[in-house]
A and B are shown apart, each in its own frame.
Chain A
Amino acid sequence: MKSLTRRVSKIKTVPQKKRDGPGISRRSFVKSLGGIGAGTVFLSTGIAKRAAAQYGPVYTDGLSAEQLTDMYTTMLKIRLWETKIKDLILAGGFRGVAHLYVGQEAIAVGVCSALRKDDYIASNHRGHGHLIAKGGDLGKMLAEITHKATGYCKGYGGSLHITDISLGILGMNGVVGAAHLFAAGAAYGIKVKGTDQIAVSFGGDGSLQNSFFTSAANAASAWKLPWIAVIENNAFQIWVRSSDVYGTQDLARRADGFGIEGRVVDGNDVLSVYNVARYAVEKARAGNGPTVIECKTYRWYDHYGAGGARIGVDGAFGLGYRSDRELRDWMAKDPIVRFRKFLVSEKVLTEERAEEIVAEVRQAVEDAAKFAEAQPVPKPEDGLLNVFAEGSVPLHNS
């Protein structure tokens, strides 16, 4: 009881004035009226205006060079940091596991770039990208994945449970679909607190079918909760193709029955994802309820670990459940290459600068790896702590 009171008194209300997300100023967005054309990005103003009249707000039109560069940098961070993990796993003796996110970077970055620091995200097993995009620290994340005492969760949780409540990260979660409930619950809490925050859940195509998503969607619809469900449709649930076990193929259509707006977007196009996410965020902040966003994408690696992958080579080939050709087709739609080409053609970046950023991120990843490597392992007896807020539980093995 005592600890409960203490904890309650610690909760601070979130300042409502600070509206701007990391590096994104609201004023800089072109806003228009109407519905939006998901998957459509118009950056040259004339086209944007016409498109806006036809399809609705084109938020991406107003992104500054700095914001666009940030998005590119964050996508690279996810890519290179996870590629490093893949190589470490293959090298042997890695103190952890990973469900790699590579290939899906545009989704995490597109969505989180539309969020504020005080917005919440609830993530799943394939969540490293979400966390990095929400501001997670590469070194502390890797320390956690390798179960070090100074990792985000002090080595208890590992990859599947990385959490940083201070960044609004309600945690990765190993149980498929649970993130939807967490985020919808957080969205209800936002209503109770009376703030204008948003709660976003990330889930795979596999996350729609147990009752978690259904419960979240119904509540969010009934009470217009500021909830956004991002469904990363990478076609597979481990090796099972969703098309073999679902009667509906456009998963955003699941939202229809709940009276929730459902959007389908190209998940390999960061600006399209951003555009839809921004739309959903504005809508939710204004009290107009939830959105379900389905992002079509593909994962480059196996469901888990580094099967079929090689050190220094991108992608996992020769997996029984998918063809190498299908993978190569998706790798040709590399969200980072595509975005970089676009940034260069728009003169946001020169080729040289784009390449320099790669080198900078590579260095940051190496630094993170060195940091994690140098961290201490947990003390054995700490396993008995943190079961409850206070005290430890007794051992029973002797």
Chain B
Amino acid sequence: MPKSMGYAILEAIQGEMRRDKLLTLFYEYQTPAAGWSNRSINLEAEFGRTRVRFCAIDEEWIVGGAMGMSMTGVPAIAHIPSMATFIPYELMFNHAGKLRHMTGGQAAFPMVLWADMARRWAFQGGQHADAGLESSYARLAGLKVVIPSTPYDAKGLMVSAIRDVDPVVYCQYPVPSAGPEVPDEPYTVPIGEPAIRTEGKDITIVGYAPQTAEIARAVEELKKDGISAEFIDPRTLAPLEGVMPTIIESVKKTGRLLTSDEGSYTFCNCAEIIARVAEAVPGAKFKRLAFPDAPAPGAPEMLNYMNVDATRIAAAARRLLKA
């Protein structure tokens, strides 16, 4: 049985907790245990309740406590549930993101804000949709933001996030298991390194997390029309310096960039990526797909009308190629 993203993340944390005897996890109700008959992880059983601590519904404690702890040399992971992913925003903006700079390099926050990101579910929507939050965190100075879309990346990025001496926001969207098998041993996927999912020459498509499944389907559809699309998953949304060269090189080759964002349109991550490519590749053509600037309605009739999906991505790609 292939490892799920949830399992891969727990395996990353388990490895790092074995390596670093101080690393501590705060969480609310998302039990850090997973597995099946002959293979399972239970962090609380292995490391005890002091280092694997479930907390009250108190996101300020979970993140603020993790900040104070990490500032004094106890690296921490703060696991925030969906629907509460914005509550720590002030703490991350004014403290975790700023204090290294404000203290002339003294203060360090080796912490991970591990945010559960509900996508937009039919029959829930509304406050149960955290989609787009990643771009709000990505524009805060001093924070790194990573967003895995395969179990393999999920484990490698979590290891990197834990080992990073700076605060990292780790956005976990539910995504179907896909991609390479997840090794049992610890390994890293470096922060700031994008992945070229499919090589192509006609058009560049950029998207991350749940959008990668839609884009992958769109790329297959386009292939049937003889269109060769290059699909790049940035994996890191901040800082973008490491990510951009790969995307810029690709657009220099294809001349066209189509992006598909999980979040809503205005200030979505891909808007920033497009702006940077526009500065670097004169004459390139662009198209940006995203959810409208609206909350997510729960009725699937409305939701499906507003979502970006594979068919719409493929259609937009064809139009951009004609432009």
**Residues of A in contact with B (beta carbons under 8 Å apart):** 95-97, 147-148, 155-158, 160-161, 173-177, 206-207, 209-211, 237-240, 242, 244-246, 377-384, 387, 393-398
Contact = CB atoms under 8 A, between A and B. Distances in A.
Given A240-B54, A380-B301, A396 B292 contact: yes
22 contacts: A96-B123, A147-B300, A155-B297, A155-B301, A174-B83, A175-B84, A210-B58, A210-B87, A237-B29, A238-B29, A379-B301, A382-B302, A383-B292, A383-B301, A383-B305, A393-B294, A396-B288, A397-B289, A397-B306, A397-B309, A398-B312, A398-B316
Interface in B257-313: 265, 288-295, 297-309, 312
Contact of A387 (B295, B301, B304, B309): B295
A239 B55 CA distance: 11
B246 interface: no
A381 B83 contact: no
The 9 closest A-B pairs by CB, nearest first: A383-B302, A380-B305, A147-B299, A174-B127, A158-B298, A245-B56, A155-B299, A238-B29, A209-B56
A239 B301 contact: no
A273 to B, nearest CB: 24
Chain A interface, DSSP helix/strand/loop, else mixed = loop
Nearest to B290: A396
Contacts of B56: 206, 209, 237, 240, 242, 245-246
A173 B127 CA distance: 8
A148 B299 CA distance: 8
A397 B307 contact: yes
A156 B299 contact: yes
A161 B301 contact: no
B126 interface: yes
A234 to B, nearest CB: 14
Given A156-B126, A210-B58, A393 B292 contact: yes
A383 B294 contact: yes
A161 B126 contact: yes
Contact of B289 (A97, A147, A246, A396): A396
A98 B246 CA distance: 46
A380 B304 contact: yes
A147 B123 contact: yes
B298 A155 contact: yes
A383 B303 contact: yes
Nearest to A236: B29
B28 A240 contact: yes
B290 A397 contact: yes
A267 to B, nearest CB: 19
Contacts of B195: none
Contacts of A384: 292, 294, 306
Contacts of A96: 123, 298
B124 interface: yes
Given A209-B56, A237-B56, A398-B315, A377 B127 contact: no
B126 A157 contact: yes
B124 A97 contact: yes
Counting chain A CB atoms within 10 Å of each CB, which of B125, B302, B312 scores highest? B302
Most buried by B among A175, A210, A377, A382: A210
B60 interface: yes
B298 A157 contact: yes
Interface string B105-125: 000000000000000000111
A379 B31 CA distance: 39
B57 A396 contact: no
B174 to A, nearest CB: 16
A170 B210 CA distance: 34
A232 to B, nearest CB: 14
B303 A209 contact: no
Contacts of A206: 56-57
B128 interface: yes
A384 B87 CA distance: 26
Contacts of B125: 156-158
B153 interface: no
Contacts of B293: 387, 393
A207 B57 CA distance: 7
Given A147-B123, A237-B29, 16 more contacts: A155-B302, A156-B297, A157-B298, A158-B298, A158-B299, A160-B124, A209-B61, A210-B57, A210-B87, A245-B55, A379-B301, A383-B305, A384-B294, A397-B291, A397-B292, A397-B312
